[in-house]
Amino acid sequence: MNTPARLGLYGAGLAVLFVGAFAAAGAVVPQSTVDSWTQEAEGHDMGAEGAGGHGDAHAPAAPTAVRGVSSAQDGYLLTPVAAPDEVDESGTLSFRIHDAHGEALTSFATEHDKELHLIVVRTDGSRFRHVHPTMAADGTWSLPWEWAAAGTYRVYADFVPGGEGEGDPVTLTRTVDVAGPFAPVVPVPADVATVDGFTVELVGDLAVGESSQLTLSVSRGGEPVTTLQPYLGAFGHLVALREGDLAYLHVHPEGDEPAAGETSGPEISFLAEAPTPGRYLLYLDFQVDGQVHSAPFVVDAHAH
């Protein structure tokens, strides 16, 4: 058994993804609207003075800075995503990252054991996938792809530019529409998930504006699982989806990087912070016997 500190995630930051759930069938957030949200947030960033008392007393409070609401960030651009446009059509999902000069970026730093993390999720929060494409010499990232259900999907490329003086994490996003009837899923609060014969229980509250501990415990057949294997340099990976703005954030994890061949469990702990009150969908990715499983949860964050 490992100490509690060894049960957490390792890395410069734990990817926490915020994705909106929509109640109407076929609901889509256009890229122009997403970009408009980003520009508005940047325009309202008042800084410490505006939030303190020397600025405009009637100005609104500065919003929480988030990433992953636009196809462009810090001079980098996610090209339109090529993918099959119908359900059950085999093909390839591909894209490139362009730099400020319009050239394909080909140098990436390794973060959480990979040079780029691709998150794909439908706008109602279902059909979540966390995958890792490969890059060709010309900077094109791709992987075989097939959609299992129709709807509008958000595709997120999460990476750190490489080269001399490696940059800050960048999260870029695009929308992909998949033809066919769309029956949205409405999330309801749940702190216990069952997946592939495993039961995962979430303990802890998601707090607004302050870090709080979330502990997830994995069991199978009523017995605690103590054979969790490292996944992306950790014993688990947590992704959270928020209703509304499709934003993507990073928070710091607990614990150290697992040693080669080390196992752990049944608990995995995270430090998370919600930027605003609201409903969040959380996914825990964990690995046992070489197989990765995703356990979903739905929690509400409240301001204190």
pLDDT in tens, 177-187: 999 998 898 88
Lowest model confidence (mean pLDDT) among 73-77, 89-93, 139-143, 205-209 = 205-209
Label residue 48 exposed, middle or buried (CB < 10 Å: 0-12, 13-18, 19+): exposed
Q: CA geometry: angle at 80 spanning 175 and 89, to 5°?
A: 70
**287 within a domain of the structure (yes/no):** yes
Residue 188 has pLDDT above 80, yes or no: yes
Spatial separation of the C-alpha atoms in residues 119 and 135, rounded to whole Å: 16
**Last residue of one domain, picked from the residues 148, 178, 208:** 178
**26 within a domain of the structure (yes/no):** no
Give the number of other Cβ atoms within 10 Å of residue 16's Cβ.
24
Same domain (yes/no): 81, 38: yes
- From the list 286, 298, 300, the residue with the least C-alpha distance to 217 is 286
Q: Are 237 and 14 in contact (CB under 8 A)?
A: yes
**Last residue of one domain, picked from the residues 178, 200, 230:** 178
- From the list 279, 206, 285, the residue with the least C-alpha distance to 22 is 279
Q: Are 252 and 278 in contact (CB under 8 A)?
A: no
Same domain (yes/no): 53, 165: yes
In the structure encoding, which two tokens stand for residue 27, read together?
């609901």
Same domain (yes/no): 293, 246: yes
- From the list 218, 213, 212, the residue with the least C-alpha distance to 192 is 218
Same domain (yes/no): 60, 160: yes
Domain housing 147? 31-178
Per-residue pLDDT of 189-223, as tens digits, reads 999 999 999 999 999 998 988 888 999 999 999 99
**125 within a domain of the structure (yes/no):** yes
**25 within a domain of the structure (yes/no):** no
Give the number of other Cβ atoms within 10 Å of residue 222's Cβ.
6
Spatial separation of the C-alpha atoms in residues 221 and 198, rounded to whole Å: 7
**Measured between alpha carbons, how far is residue 35 from residues 64, 91, 121, 172, 245 in Å?**
16, 29, 19, 11, 11
Residue 157 has pLDDT above 50, yes or no: yes
Same domain (yes/no): 261, 200: yes
Residue 64 has pLDDT above 50, yes or no: no
Report which residue type is found at 287: Q
**Last residue of one domain, picked from the residues 155, 178, 201:** 178
Spatial separation of the C-alpha atoms in residues 106 and 98, rounded to whole Å: 9
Indicate which CATH number applies to the domain containing 169.
2.60.40.10
Same domain (yes/no): 229, 285: yes
Stretch 65-80: mean pLDDT: 88
Spatial separation of the C-alpha atoms in residues 252 and 213, rounded to whole Å: 11
DSSP 13: -
Per-residue pLDDT of 10-46, as tens digits, reads 333 334 444 333 333 333 444 444 444 444 434 333 3
**23 within a domain of the structure (yes/no):** no
Same domain (yes/no): 132, 198: no
Same domain (yes/no): 199, 170: no
Write down how long the chain is.
304
pLDDT band at 131; cut points 50, 70, 90: very high
Number of domains in the chain: 2
Same domain (yes/no): 44, 89: yes
